[in-house]
Amino acid sequence: MSTSTDAPYLRIANEIRRRIAAGELRPGDTVPSTRQLTREFGVALATATKALAVLRQEGAVTAVPRVGTVVAGAPPATAPRRVRDDGRPISRDSIVSAAIRIADAEGLDALSMRRVAADIGIPTMSLYRYVPSKEDLLLRMVDAVFAEDPLPEPAPHWRTCLEDLAHLQWAICHRHPWVARQVSITRPMAVPNGMAHTEASLRALDGLGLDKATMVHAAVTIAGHVVGTALHLEQEVEAEQDTGLSNEEWYEAQDLTLGRLLASGRFPMLASLDEIPDFDLNLDIVFELGLRLLLDGLAAMIADAGSGAR
């Protein structure tokens, strides 16, 4: 029961609870967004965000990528639960696919052997007959997502080959934001489909006058750019789940603080960005610019080696 002395965020949380209890919002239904709550209750975005955070902590609602915040209690229609009650055989591939679905929808932190077993409808201990450990499952997940698309056909020019490979890896990270956290540059995973990408990069650089060590470092540097930038894709998904705010809504909530800092005169270059129409710090643009700078530098190295690019 709400009282006049309740904090605004508690009054909002109480009202959402009432709607759930009354059946006005059912399991899987989308709850009002922070923007809708600000209009309905006449509060700031931060207050609406805090109300949804309280409900998430209670387990009353949950954030679902590309859907929004929904009432807990049943999976949303976009991510159906697949319980095998019909006697169909369970394979290692079906387990890996289930784990990928969970990681895509909820992030790696939600992934556990118990969670995967529940998703496919078998006891947790039965899962270990197919995959010996969570670490083994993660290896198979990474290998599976790298196998989703065939490697690009080798292009006539080394630069086009490396661009095609980097774009394919970037697309994989977009589909599966959790992958970037699993790909290590210093301790590479023994996954055949991932290793095929490195092999293709080395083939593109072979015969251009670079020594083997430089070829490897160049291939790893480009892969590191893809993975390093893609880490922010996962962080953005997690931030939206944790706060219930889209990137645009988060910036709006920071307007007062950022405006005060930019008006201080300490950051004139940053303040001048307001003069750019429709400026947006877009990760796709950051990825493309970084890739171009890396390949320009590599082209200079190849020219210095006197090989002549193919």
Cβ neighbors of 212 (< 8 A, separation 6 or more) are none
- Within 13 Å of residue 206, how many CA atoms lie on the same side as its CB? 8
- 92-146 CATH pick, 1.10.10.60, 3.30.830.10, 3.20.20.70, 3.30.750.24: 1.10.10.60
pLDDT at 36 over 60: yes
The structure's pTM equals: 0.64
Total residue length of the chain: 310
Q: Note whether 28 and 75 are within 8 A (CB).
A: yes
pLDDT tens per residue across span 131-184:
888 999 999 999 999 999 999 998 899 999 999 999 999 999 999 999 999 888
Q: How far apart are CA 258 and CA 252, in angstroms?
A: 10
Q: What average pLDDT does the structure give for the chain?
A: 82
pLDDT digits (tens, 9 = 90+) for 69-89: 888 874 443 333 334 544 557
Question: Could you give the CA distance from residue 278 to residue 47 in angstroms, rounded to a whole number?
Answer: 27
pLDDT at 85: 45
**Cα–Cα distance between 300 and 310 in angstroms, integer?**
14
3-state secondary structure 168-219: HHHHHHHHCCCHHHHCCCCCCCCCHHHHHHHHHHHHHHCCCCCCHHHHHHHH
Better pLDDT: 150 or 270:
150
The answer to whether the 8-71 and 158-304 domains have the same CATH topology is: no
* Structural contact between residues 171 and 284, judged by C-beta atoms closer than 8 angstroms: no
pLDDT the model gives residue 245: 63
Range in 94-103, 197-206, 250-259 the model is least confident about = 250-259
Amino acid identity for residue 51 in this structure? A
Q: Which has the closest alpha carbon to 54: 263, 215, 244, 293?
A: 244
Is the distance from CB of 98 to CB of 112 less than 8 angstroms?
no
Fold exhibited by the domain 8-71: Arc Repressor Mutant, subunit A (1.10.10)
- Superfamily grouping for domain 158-304: Tetracycline Repressor, domain 2 (1.10.357.10)
Q: Which amino acid is at 288?
A: E
Asked if 227 and 296 count as a contact pair (C-beta separation under 8 A), the reply is no
Cα torsion 197, 198, 202, 203 to 10°: value is -30
* Domain residue spans of the chain: 8-71, 92-146, 158-304
In the predicted model, is pLDDT for residue 63 greater than 50? yes
